[in-house]
Amino acid sequence: MNQLQKGSKKLLNAWAFYDWANSVYSLTIASAIFPLFYGALFREAGVEKIEVFGGMIARAPLITYVTAAAFLFIAVLSPLLSGVADYVGNKKVFLKFFCYLGALSSAALYWFSLEHIYFGLIAYFFGLVGFWGSLVFYNSYLPDIAYPEQQDSISAKGYSWGYFGSVILLLINLLMILKYEWFGFEGAGMPTKLSFLTVGLWWAGFAQYTFYHLPEGNENKGKVNKQVLLSGFKELQKVWHDLAESKRLKRYLGAFFVYSMGVQTVMLAASYFAEEELAWANAEERTMGLIVSILLIQLVAILGAWGTARLSFRFGNIPVLIAINLVWIAICVYGYFVITPVQFYITAATVGLVMGGIQALSRSTYSKFLPKTMDTTSFFSFYDVAEKIGIVIGMFLYGLIAQLTGSMRNSIFFLGILFVFGLLLLLRVPDKRSS
């Protein structure tokens, strides 16, 4: 196969298509069906706390702790693998590995149960590892396949395709769950578990188009040895020193670390908050309400990603990120007082508007601020490690506050503080003339 030229439309679309493939995980597993399945599993068994890891832990803090542990594992593992991938020039192999790990782990959630809680939590753990581990290598391709002037738009296209594709699969799964009798099922339990299998098949299947067209990596064709195994951590150290030469990149990364901690915690914990804290009339309203809110977030996020890309073209990346952080602060203030489903829908629509925008723009801003280098995986590994460590801190403190106070609502104060500090740090990012 002839390698596609950098900047070509076909190559850019093939890269963006991986968002279409893997975003079904973030919607079905992380946001929509699995949180409902997880909460219902405990309620139907009449269990609020479960003995696991040597202690009694409530269901909501339990899942946040497992999430934090998964991100800590990713933060430690990704520098090791990205260093090897850069050295031997085969980062597509690693992208495939994490894709298949995540897809198989998602499918394994079919067997999640309280009786086999450790197996279920392990599957959930490695699903997160697969999803986020693959993004280390996927994101690192952006400066390799797109020129700086293309990166905002193709990053936004990737997120938009991801939101759209994940909604399609979610609607198919919801049809099976809500109208289970049409498909010959005796209840909603089996189609709910089958939805986890469809995520694995969709993810691994559609990723083949991306794998076919992406290049293997750079042209370094060395051999893996003892020195190479630790090269990723050495590369991170080198990146850290390189940051000192660019005040703009260093300050931006500090701001990203803080506000991304808030964004990712909201994304990972929002469904569990709504499932636990809102005044739903009954179980059916809870199910439909959460699904409607998640769909609302996904659809509005498409507009948010594209709108943010257009605004960044006109006003610049940093001013737009500052404005988005202001919106996030307002969301946290309002979110603390959300009780009714209608209030939650309003919050969900606003979150969707800024969620897609801040993710797409953060990724492309970092890419544009990078120095000219072939070692893009190490720089994006540093970016991803910063993001993952932030998630570990965010999810752990979110769960801890909820466990100590008995309410996830109190954790919202913590999230609001993160966005305030993120905004203040963005104000310190110099423009290009002074970087």
Both tokens of residue 297?
């977030």
| Residue 380 scores a pLDDT above 80 | no
Share of the chain above pLDDT 70, in %: 92
Q: How confident is the model at residue 111 (pLDDT cuts 50, 70, 90)?
A: very high
Tokens of 345: 């829908």
Tell me the two tokens of residue 425. Answer: 């740090």
pLDDT of residue 217: 66
Locus of tokens 């804290």: 277
Residue 104 pLDDT grade (very low, low, confident, very high; cuts 50, 70, 90):
very high
Residues paired with 58 in a beta bridge: 49
Question: Please, what are the domains in the chain?
Answer: 9-434 (1.20.1250.20)
**And the tokens for 111?**
């067997």
- For residue range 4-22, what is the model confidence (pLDDT) as tens digits? 888 788 999 999 999 999 9
Provide long-range contacts, Cβ within 8 A and 24+ apart, for 327-336. 327/353, 327/354, 328/259, 328/262, 328/263, 328/354, 328/358, 328/419, 329/416, 329/419, 329/420, 329/423, 332/262, 332/412, 332/413, 332/415, 332/416, 332/419, 333/416, 335/412, 336/409, 336/412, 336/413, 336/416
347 in Cβ contact with 274 (< 8 Å): no
Give CA–CA dist 58/349, Å, rounded.
29
Confidence of residue 435 (pLDDT cuts 50, 70, 90): very low
Whether the pTM exceeds 0.85: the reply is: no
pLDDT at 86 (0 to 100): 63
- Which tens digits make up the pLDDT trace of 412-425? 888 899 999 999 99
Contact 253, 380 (CB under 8 A): no
Predicted confidence at residue 156, as pLDDT, reads 79
Q: Give per-residue pLDDT as tens, 322-336.
A: 999 999 999 999 988
Model confidence at 337: pLDDT above 80: yes
Give the SS3 label for residue 267.
Answer: helix
The pLDDT of residue 81 is: 72
Residue 375 has pLDDT above 70, yes or no: no
Residue 221 above 60 pLDDT?
Answer: no
| C-alpha–C-alpha distance, residues 348 and 426, integer Å | 25
Full DSSP string of 37-96: HHHHHHHHTT-SEEEETTEEEEHHHHHHHHHHHHHHHHHHHHHHHHHHHHHHT-HHHHHH
pLDDT of 434 strictly over 60: no
pLDDT, residue 205, reads 96
Contacts of 102 (CB under 8 A, 6+ apart): 22, 25, 126, 127, 128, 129, 130, 131, 133, 134, 203
pLDDT surpassing 70 at residue 431 = no
Structure tokens at 63: 């899942």
Residue, of 344 and 227, whose pLDDT is higher:
344
Report d(CA 262, CA 417) in Å as an integer: 9
The rounded distance, in Å, linking the Cα atoms of 194 and 111 is: 10
The one-character DSSP state at 406 is S
As a whole number, mean pLDDT of residues 280-303 equals 78
Cα(378)–Cα(243) distance, integer angstroms: 13
Instruction: Provide the pLDDT for residue 392.
Output: 87
Task: Give yes or no for residue 433 having a pLDDT over 50.
Answer: no
pLDDT recorded at residue 88: 61
For residue range 34-82, what is the model confidence (pLDDT) as tens digits? 888 888 888 888 887 888 877 778 787 888 889 889 988 988 887 777 6
Residues in the chain: 435
